[in-house]
A and B are shown apart, each in its own frame.
Chain A
Amino acid sequence: MIDQYLYLAVILFVIGAVGVMIRRNALVAFMSVELMLNAANLALVAFAWHHASFDGQVASFFVMVVAAAEVVVGLAIIVSIYKTRRSTSVDNANLLNQ
């Protein structure tokens, strides 16, 4: 019964990982990271249901808090990069490479 939730979480996690690997737009890559976090959350909630304890749900709650903080800082970084380089493509942020 719980297996199907875990398989779904795995599929979503892998989709998120592929998104991070192939997309150039920093915003889309960032959204893919969010998708991976959400997949982990789904697994946590499913395990909480399986083991009849609230610990999984509390862990999932903490993941959401960390995700919110991460999004705020990440988007601020993207905006400040966009301000200086006029691009959100991760390929263009290669100042240390030149």
Chain B
Amino acid sequence: MLDKILTENFRRTLKMVFTDINNQQDRRDEHEFAKDEVRIKERLLDTFTTHRHDVILENDFRIAAIDGSGTDSLMTLDDIRIHLLSTSTVVVDTNTQSENLFSPIERDTLENELGEQPHIDIHWHSGVRGDARNKLAETLASIYPLKDVASLTLPFFKDHTKGEIASFSDFGDTEYEKHVPRLRELESLISREQLLTNPTVHEEIRKTSEYAAARRLLMSDIQPKYLLLDGALSVFMHFVRHYPSMPSGFMLRDVCALARQKNVVLCAVSKNHTIPFAHRIAGMAREKFGASAKWFCHLPSREDPEGGLHIYEDRTYIPPMLAVPYLYSFSRDNRPSRIDFDRIWWLENIFVPGDPGATRSNEKTLFAELEFMSRDARWYGYPVPLALAHESCKLSYEDLRLAKEVCMDVRSEMGLEMRKAEPLRADYDL
């Protein structure tokens, strides 16, 4: 293959693709961006005063972070795939008073409250019709701590309808009335049955496992000020029924509601994001505040004063439903990341109607704290609790190899038929 990649012909093909992108997408985006440029620069982009490195906070606080990892093919037995998931919760304390900044709380304390860390889940399903959905529902039900499906679904509707639906009796005369029977069983909340591929199933369990960990944390006595998740606070909707197409969407809103109730700032950070023109916004920030500045940029939605930005007008899920995304950078060496907040919390705690100055002031306080927790030299610019959670849960190639060996070992211990755990293609060295 290398002989092809290194040819002039390959370069020509690439040139054609880039020209194509440039002609179609970039030109359109440039046009749209031009409309947003002044607004971004003047009113959405800002910097903030960072905490001194030797600051002593009057009230030190805890920050929790949750991350998950896994594989959808721990072992393949004909059409059965065994999934392995690991979810980790890390809690750090700002500890400015003891000068031992952001040190994780004792593992014993954490495990007493939340159970073993990282937490391991296993799932399997076969190719038999309906099995994926049945087993997925079973697994989700066993993982998520809130077992009452009606209570699970309600927070979404409550937030989505701005409080119009506050209980099941409020569904009458709404577009959801006809779907109420579906909202009583977890299995019937899985409305993307046709798309239940292994990666989709895996992703759904992974999210559920993370949200389950979040729920457990919020219900515990740990009482963090922040709870950080990895990714985005996106809820994927069923296009016809207008509610989440998978149970994890409801779970996310359940967690958001619980976080608000417990006074915890819930946010989700994504290094990998698809915010268009992020590099141009970063360039603007450099130009406006200097190369070493730490900055954030609000990405408003249609419902905000002045409406949403033109650059993501036609991009689904930006901003995500019921969430407020920001672009931010705390390190000159890294590309900007995205952080999402629960919109309901944001409206209650950050946004001050009719007072953009007060809103901005709240944002600055928020980002100063987020930046303070993102100064670990190992992952400078990225929140350290999330990085620690990631380190704790990640399943390396070597871990997976060993897990596969353990699988074979256990089967042999049980006297079951000997089956290799490596992918089938490994037999041919492919």
The answer to whether A and B belong to the same complex is no
* Chain B residues with a Cβ under 8 A of chain A: none
